[in-house]
Amino acid sequence: STALERLERMWSYQMLFEATLGGRPAIISDHEDSCVAKNIQHDIDRGKFDFKKYNERVTFIDIGACLGMVSMHVARRERSTSIIAIEPHPENYKHMLMNLYDNNEYALTLPFAIGPEFDRSVIVRNNSNTGGATMNSKFCKKSDKRRPQSTVVVVPLNLIFEEFVPEHENAIVKMDIEGSEHTAFDTFEYWDRIVCLHLECHMNDNLRNKGFSSDRLLDFVTSKFSGELH
C-alpha cells in the first residue's frame, strides 16, 4: 500500500468535499457531519479572502486555520507569500495536515492557540461545526460527550512574529479564533508589521458575562492599528 493509504487507515482519513481553492480543484477532509468546508468555500467564492497584492514580500498568518482551506487558497493565488497556518484543536490540525499533503501545498503548521500569555486551556469542538472549536464556551467547564474536551497550548502572538516571521518581513493576518480574539492582542507589540488584518469577532453569553463586546474590541484594534482592516 502507498504511504497515503497507510495514513488514511491510521487516521481514519476521509475525502469529503470537492473545493476550488486559488482557482484550482482541491479535495478537503473534515468530520463527515461538519458544515465548515462548504461555509469556507462560500466565503472564498465571495472574494472574502482575496487579499490585495503588496509590493513587498509578506507572510500570511492564518490564525484559526481549521482545515487549512484559506491558507491553501492564498498560497495558490500568491506564490511568493509564505504561509503560517495555526490551529490548536488536535482533530482539526490532523485534517489540516492531510489536506495540505493531499493537495500538494506547503505551509508552516503550528498546533497552538493564541492568547495574551503562555498557558494551557481547554478547547471544545462540536462535530457539526468543527470550525467552531473554542476556549470560550460554557462547555469548557463541564464534561459533554457531544463536545469532547481537549487541552491545548496557548502562546502569545508576539511569539509567532519573533520566532516564525522573518525579522524584516511584514504580515497579513487572518484571525478567526471563536472568541479568543478579545484577549489575543492584549500583549501584542508588532502592530507596525501587520499590513492587513482580517478579523472575525465572535460574541456569546459567556463572553458578555466576562465584559467583552465587539465595539470594545474594534475600538482597541483601531487605536493600535493603522493598516487595512477587514
Tell me what pLDDT residue 2 has: 65
Tell me what pLDDT residue 32 has: 85
Tell me what pLDDT residue 5 has: 64
Tell me what pLDDT residue 74 has: 93
Tell me what pLDDT residue 198 has: 95
Tell me what pLDDT residue 77 has: 86
Tell me what pLDDT residue 51 has: 80
Distance between CA atoms of 152 and 135, rounded to whole angstroms?
A: 9
Q: How far is CA 137 from CA 118, 176, 184, 202, in A?
A: 20, 15, 16, 11
Tell me what pLDDT residue 168 has: 86
| Cβ atoms of 23 and 76 closer than 8 Å | yes
Tell me what pLDDT residue 202 has: 93
Contacts 24+ apart (CB under 8 A), 72-75: 72/21, 72/22, 72/26, 72/99, 72/100, 72/103, 72/105, 72/107, 73/21, 73/22, 73/44, 73/49, 74/22, 74/49, 74/172, 75/22, 75/105, 75/106, 75/107
Tell me what pLDDT residue 7 has: 59
List per-block mean pLDDT (blocks of 10 residues) for the chain, which spans 230 residues.
60 76 92 92 93 77 97 87 95 93 92 97 91 86 77 97 93 95 96 94 91 95 92
